[in-house]
Amino acid sequence: MNKLHTLILAGLICATSLLAQQNANNIQLELEQKAQRKNILIPDIDGYQTLKGDFHIHTVFSDGLVWPTVRVKECWMEGLDVMAITDHLEYRPHKNFMTEGHNHPYNLAVSEAQKHNIIFVKAAEITRSMPPGHLNALFINDADSLNQKNVDDVFESVKEQKALMLWNHPGWKAQQRDTCLVYEVHEKLIKEGLVQGMEVMNYTEWYPVVLQWCIDYKLAVFANSDIHGISGYTYDVQKGHRPMTLLFAKDRSSDGVREAIESARTIAWFDQQLAGPEDLIKELFDASVNLKSAFYTDDKYRYMELSNESDIKFSFINETTSNGAPEKFELQPRKTIVIRVNKDAESFKVKVDNCHTGMFKNLQLNLM
């Protein structure tokens, strides 16, 4: 090898190692978790699509800790179809950092919701002492015009905007410590059609008496998160789910959602408790659970198969104890169980312990 060849070779080695150094200064690692939506299995019922909603969500634009677009991503990942950001109109602890009005959280997040096929309901939380307490105004056009001193003017603006309201957390101890009442103002708002629903479940609370009010007034039941912190820190979103309002809608649209609320076609669902009108709960049970009549029998028993095609767990209490079936049994999400019943049993009445159809009332069925 002559001198020139040696020089060229040395140059090449130098260039290659320089290139290698440059390539070694930034190697992309696959650390970022890919965004995936959790599919929650809740069947449709006859003639209606089942949608999952959360109509009570806070962001940094009131006392929440999360940016509006992140809220959309959380809802999408947790399997929701409908959401409403409901920042307090009257309580804005971060207001010194804000220059925009009350429509800003909606405006920031609406395109993110559209990209994720989430029905995004424009909303705000009216935040007053009791009565009337806290009410979420849904399907509003302008949140700023709801920000008025006199609460009657706020209700007038809700009416003008053709919006509707739900009464939030009526059983919240901070506002109804020793009793839980419907006040005159609520009666009036219900009569005028301005209040169309109430939260029977909020955050981690559930209010059986409010379920009874909803049944009596024929109002929509809601289960909402009222979430302030990060969702994954608040609920075990891998194993469980946030409180959800199940809506039975004619179609998957904002109008469909509104019509379902106005027709009180909703069920509240949280922590495997369902609360709502008896006919809807029965329809949802029938759509979720396949009951096969006895296939095998032997000298003493016949065997019944219950198959669950939903993510709802059902807990049964046997009310015909003489039939040989267990006193209590559970049907886990997406599982099948076999129950043994006396061969000559004529009745198999059960109470579905987690299906609430009134204050002290549960779904009752005869499985035979």
220 in helix, strand or coil?
Answer: strand
Pick the closer one to Zn ion by CB: 172 or 285: 172
Give the separation between CA 341 and CA 324, rounded to whole angstroms.
5
Out of 74, 226, 283, 311, point to the residue binding Zn ion (CB under 5 A): 226
Burial (0-12, 13-18, 19+ Cβ within 10 Å), 20: exposed
Residue 199 touching Zn ion (CB under 5 A): no
Q: Which of positions 1-20 make contact with Zn ion (CB under 5 A)? A: none
Q: Which span (17-25, 69-77, 120-128, 243-251) binds Zn ion, by CB under 5 A?
A: 120-128
168 lies in the site for Zn ion, by CB under 5 A: yes
Determine if 283 is a binding residue for Zn ion (CB under 5 A).
Answer: no
Q: By CB under 5 A, which span of 125-133, 240-248, 256-264, 303-311 interacts with Zn ion?
A: 125-133
Q: Is 186 in the site for Zn ion (CB under 5 A)?
A: no
- In this structure, the chain runs to a length of 368
Nearer to Zn ion, 132 or 324 (CB): 132
The nearer residue to Zn ion, 168 or 308, going by C-beta atoms, is 168
CA 40 vs. chain centroid, Å, equals 11
Query: Smallest distance from the beta carbon of 87 to Zn ion, in angstroms?
Result: 8
Comparing CB distances to Zn ion, the nearer of 170 and 256 is 170
Q: Enter the DSSP assignment of 40.
A: P
- Reading phi first (left if > 0) and then psi (alpha if -120 to 50, else beta), residue 130 is in beta
Reference 119, options 258, 237, 232, 228; nearest CA is 258
In 3D space, the residue among 157, 337, 134 whose CA is nearest the CA of residue 222 turns out to be: 134
Query: CA dist 147 to 54, 87, 132, 133, 193, Å?
Result: 23, 12, 15, 15, 21
Contact between 323 and Zn ion by CB under 5 A: the answer reads no
Interface with Zn ion (CB under 5 A), residue total: 4
Q: Which is nearer to Zn ion, 120 or 285 (CB)?
A: 120
Question: Interface with Zn ion by CB under 5 A: which range of 127-135, 303-311, 327-335, 340-348?
Answer: 127-135
Interacting residues with Zn ion (CB under 5 A): 125, 134, 168, 226
